[in-house]
Amino acid sequence: MASKKLRRVGLSPELCDRLSRHRIVTCQDFLCLSPLELMKVTGLSYRGVHELLCMVSKACAPQMKTAYAMKTQRCAALSPAFLPTSLPALDEALRGGVACGSLTEITGPPGCGKTQFCIMMSILATLPTDMGGLEGAVVYIDTESAFSAERLIEIAESRFPRYFNTEEKLLLTSSKVHLYRELSCDEVMQRIESLEEDIISKGVKLVIIDSVASVVRKEFDTQLQGNMKERNKFLAREASLLKYVAEEFSIPVSFASSLFFPYTSFMLNSLKL
């Protein structure tokens, strides 16, 4: 909840713009500053800053809920609980598909089909709900320059020939997949931090990162002293932000990796699409 953007907690656009110029964008950024520092940045009195601190704290603090209330909320939710993978055996193993509102790790050895699976999931998320899709857009963060638009079209035509029977439908689906090539840890983190705006403005129903391990391996040599600690810190923050996005917007967030995370995970040994 600390990752929530200040623009979504009730602060005025003018104040948010002023804070963003000082790189104060999230509730966490705001709450890490002392009242004196906030007075200097905002130009407000101590009382005004104190009121803002109370507002931001209340907005990002987890609200107490009973187990019954949580169950009722889930049952009443309009969004689906799963995004089916269209692979019956895998959907059965996952009890319905890739879960909405949580993180799912897709892991396996190089060349087993992780990227192909991520591309297929991108197509599925754009499909109408009566076909098991989410009828939304996709944010696809590509850290290995492995995404292929041609392959997306091939998979769409191969797996759903009756639906993708016109060029217009293929164009519509491909236009809903928003590709970002981020090749460093800083770029990946900045993209993740801006996901809220993309999800709201583009109607995103699925976030994919392919892959988490690529940029980490390039920038953190675990043989060097201190790098393991920094790598784990980066991965923990990345996972925390992604988990917040998944839960806040009740969408599935999937990432391909050969690193194991303590979230829903399944291994691909070989996948042909």
pLDDT, mean of residues 202-210 = 95
Give the angle subtended at the CA of 208 by the CAs of 206 and 214, to the nearest 5°.
170
User: What is the tens place of the pLDDT at every residue in 98-145?
Assistant: 999 989 988 887 788 889 999 999 999 999 999 989 999 999 999 988
pLDDT at 64: 72
Q: Is pLDDT at 261 greater than 70 in this prediction?
A: no
Instruction: Give the closest residue to 184 by CA, choosing from 154, 221, 218.
Output: 218
pLDDT, mean of residues 201-215 = 90
Q: Is pLDDT at 80 greater than 80 in this prediction?
A: no
Is pLDDT larger for residue 214 or for residue 177? Answer: 177
What are 19-28's contacts with CB under 8 Å, separation 24+?
A: 25/193, 26/2, 26/193, 27/1, 27/2, 27/3, 27/56, 27/57, 27/59, 27/60, 28/2, 28/3, 28/60
User: What is the tens place of the pLDDT at every residue in 143-201?
Assistant: 988 999 999 999 999 999 999 999 999 999 999 999 999 999 999 998 998 898 899 99
User: What is the tens place of the pLDDT at every residue in 217-250?
Assistant: 888 877 777 788 888 888 888 888 899 899 889 9
pLDDT at 262: 47
Name which of 82-86, 167-171, 217-221, 260-264 the model is least confident about: 260-264
| E strand or H helix at 207 | strand 204-210
User: What is the spatial distance between Cα 173 and Cα 127, in angstroms, rounded to a whole number?
Assistant: 8
Contact (Cβ atoms closer than 8 angstroms) between residue 5 and residue 26: yes
Instruction: Give the three-state DSSP class for 34.
Output: coil
pLDDT, mean of residues 59-63 = 74
Q: Give the rounded distance of the alpha carbon of 22 from its chain centre.
A: 25
Q: pTM for the whole thing?
A: 0.76
User: What is the spatial distance between Cα 94 and Cα 72, in angstroms, rounded to a whole number?
Assistant: 23
pLDDT at 100: 92
User: What is the spatial distance between Cα 196 and Cα 135, in angstroms, rounded to a whole number?
Assistant: 18
- Under the banding of pLDDT at 50, 70 and 90, the label for residue 258 is low
Instruction: Give the closest residue to 119 by CA, choosing from 91, 148, 160.
Output: 148
- For the chain, what percent of residues have pLDDT higher than 90? 41
Residue 127 CB neighbours (<10 A): 22
Domains defined for the chain, CATH in brackets: 6-60 (1.10.150), 77-271 (3.40.50.300)
- Residues 6+ positions from 21 with CB-CB distance below 8 Å: none
pLDDT, mean of residues 199-211 = 93
User: What is the spatial distance between Cα 245 and Cα 253, in angstroms, rounded to a whole number?
Assistant: 8
CA 83 vs CA 80, 89, 149, 252: distances in Å: 7, 14, 22, 8
Contact (Cβ atoms closer than 8 angstroms) between residue 176 and residue 127: no
pLDDT, mean of residues 72-88 = 77
Residue with tokens 């959907």: 91
Instruction: Return the structure tokens found at 269.
Output: 């040994």
